[in-house]
């Protein structure tokens, strides 16, 4: 075996091990509370929320889960670890229609809402609105997690925003359905009341503005949960709920019956009826990825592993050799869909020539309504006197403007460094990609740890020199290593995923299917015209 083959085998084994670790990481969110919580729910006549979702979606289909990494070791003093963020969100096919499903994870603090739970819920609602997806709420929540009410109750993006989003989507014709499988107290009751149609389960589901203890305290009235806000109350008396069922199974079946009457969904793009799989597989993809995220890659090796028949039509392939080719632009077919590509190549450092080429390409894709896949592997834009005089600021700004203004569906896939303004120009979270996925190689921070350590150490040295203090080189080494380690920890996809900076970490083997599915969902809504404003080409 040659040294090149040995290195490729080393990369393959390294990334296969990281993806195995990732799959184990997911299991904790799947099994919140372990068997004990499953047994507790079974004693109440309940399935877990994941069991309910599996029963709801069409046979043979899978939940396209989002935000699974949320809440891991998030560090709230009252609840430092919330695997999955206390909520299941994802797109599932129900009666052949793609629906955004929200399921309260009652195995975690009775399904109450932490700040990260709200962020996950509202993120899924945004995706549903942008992709024109019916929403299904499987509701079993105690409402706000009271010790963190300051961070969950009164501001924009907090608890009330869930209901605002429900009503706005309903007004646009995006159906909102609720199956209440447990208690929905105070503001949480609006999940039942605001739905286009809602279902409650006899003796399992409850909805009220104040529960029995609060009613007792407020007006000295003794009342059971069932008589205060049970399924029979809201289907026979208040009219707050539309359908009465006796079991969870019956509730799921009723949901399916309702959704069957909804019109079929449209696909607003052209697509080939058939396509060829890539000539290179996931093993080949892992084999071309250095373990160190800052080592150069050949993005063409990546593209041939995700594109139909490994075909890539490149735009301006020979423009500005050595500088214009640190960003690669062009088109691929992805499961029959034409997709525009902007991908960081080699070192990923963006020179003004590369920025100019990328901006032009985004504008062209905007005008011909081609969806865009940003493959991020860039440590940032090039700096220095020559580059500034050549217009890196201007062309970098054009790249940011193009990314912000283009109206086609955009998806970001991070396979390496994701730093500085390159995060913006390459469609980071602030630039509203429909979906954003990371790999285990992704590192998202304002700059690399080594760069940050150099800057901060230089400042520390200058401050000590000004004060006439002697510099302890051992302590400086410790300081430098501490910064590097901190940036590595905070830029790791587990950490960024726990804060929902992306929609999920995906394995290399999943990448093609996940990206294609994301584009399928993004194209459920017509693409508007793009207007790019004041460009400075």
Tell me the per-residue pLDDT of 164-194, one tens digit each, with 9 for 90 and over: 999 999 999 999 999 999 988 887 899 999 9
pLDDT at 537: 60
pLDDT at 209: 87
pLDDT at 211: 86
User: Please, which residues have CB within 8 angstroms of residue 513's CB and are 6 or more apart in sequence?
Assistant: none
Q: Which residues in the chain show pLDDT less than 50?
A: none
pLDDT at 534: 74
Place of tokens 């460009």: 535
pLDDT at 376: 98
Asked whether 144 and 159 are in contact (CB, 8 A), the reply is yes
User: Please, which residues have CB within 8 angstroms of residue 42's CB and are 6 or more apart in sequence?
Assistant: none
Asked whether 12 and 282 are in contact (CB, 8 A), the reply is no
Asked whether 464 and 473 are in contact (CB, 8 A), the reply is no
| Runs of H (alpha helix) within 375-510 | 385-390, 392-405, 420-425, 449-466, 473-491, 493-498
Per-residue CA distances from 111 to 143, 183, 208, 364 (Å): 7, 9, 16, 46
pLDDT at 85: 97
What is the 8-class DSSP label of residue 431?
G
pLDDT at 2: 84
pLDDT at 427: 98
* C-alpha of 204 from chain center: 32
pLDDT at 186: 80
């Amino acid at each position: 075996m040659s040294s090149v083959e040995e290195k490729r085998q080393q990369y393959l084994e390294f990334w296969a091990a990281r993806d195995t670790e990732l799959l184990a990481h997911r299991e904790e969110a799947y099994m919140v509370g372990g068997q004990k919580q499953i047994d507790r729910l079974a004693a109440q006549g309940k399935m877990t929320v994941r069991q309910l979702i599996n029963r709801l979606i069409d046979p043979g289909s899978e939940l396209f889960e989002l935000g699974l990494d949320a809440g891991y070791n998030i560090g709230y003093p009252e609840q430092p670890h919330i695997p999955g963020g206390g909520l299941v969100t994802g797109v599932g096919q129900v009666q052949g229609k793609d629906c955004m499903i929200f399921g309260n994870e009652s195995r975690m603090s009775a399904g109450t809402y932490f700040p990260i739970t709200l962020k996950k819920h509202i993120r899924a609602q945004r995706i549903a609105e942008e992709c024109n997806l019916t929403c299904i709420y499987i509701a079993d929540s105690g409402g706000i997690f009271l010790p963190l009410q300051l961070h969950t109750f009164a501001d924009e993006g907090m608890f009330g925003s869930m209901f605002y989003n429900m009503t706005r989507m309903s007004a646009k014709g995006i159906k909102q359905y609720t199956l209440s499988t447990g208690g929905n107290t105070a503001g949480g009751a609006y999940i039942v009341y605001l739905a286009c149609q809602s279902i409650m389960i006899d003796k399992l589901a409850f909805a009220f503005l104040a529960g029995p203890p609060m009613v007792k305290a407020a007006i000295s009235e003794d009342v059971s949960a069932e008589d205060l806000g049970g399924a029979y109350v809201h289907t026979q008396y208040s009219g707050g709920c539309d359908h009465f069922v006796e079991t969870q199974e019956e509730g799921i079946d009723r949901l399916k019956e309702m959704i069957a009457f909804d019109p079929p969904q449209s696909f607003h793009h052209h697509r080939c009826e058939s396509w060829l799989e890539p000539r290179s597989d996931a093993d080949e993809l892992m084999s071309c990825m250095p373990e160190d995220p800052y080592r150069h890659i050949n993005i063409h090796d990546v593209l041939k592993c995700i594109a139909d028949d490994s075909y890539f039509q490149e735009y301006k392939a020979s423009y500005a050799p050595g500088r214009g080719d640190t960003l690669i632009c062009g088109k691929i077919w992805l499961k029959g869909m034409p997709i525009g590509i902007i991908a960081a190549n080699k070192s990923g450092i963006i020179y003004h020539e590369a920025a100019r080429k990328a901006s032009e390409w985004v504008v062209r894709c905007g005008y011909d309504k081609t969806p865009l896949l940003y493959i991020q592997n860039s440590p940032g834009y090039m700096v220095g006197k020559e580059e500034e005089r050549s217009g890196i600021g201007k062309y970098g700004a054009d790249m940011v403007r193009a990314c912000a203004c283009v109206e086609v569906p955009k998806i970001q896939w991070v396979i390496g460094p994701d730093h500085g303004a390159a995060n913006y120009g390459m469609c980071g979270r602030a630039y509203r990609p429909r979906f954003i996925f990371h790999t285990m190689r992704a590192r998202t921070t304002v700059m690399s740890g080594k760069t940050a350590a150099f800057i901060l150490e230089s400042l520390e040295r200058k401050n000590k020199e000004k004060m006439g203090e002697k510099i302890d080189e051992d302590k400086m080494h410790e300081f430098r290593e501490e910064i590097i380690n901190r940036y590595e920890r905070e830029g790791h996809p587990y950490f960024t995923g726990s804060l929902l900076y992306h929609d999920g970490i995906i394995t290399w083997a999943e990448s093609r299917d996940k990206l294609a599915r994301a584009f399928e969902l993004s194209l459920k809504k017509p693409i508007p015209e793009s207007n790019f404003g004041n460009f400075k080409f």
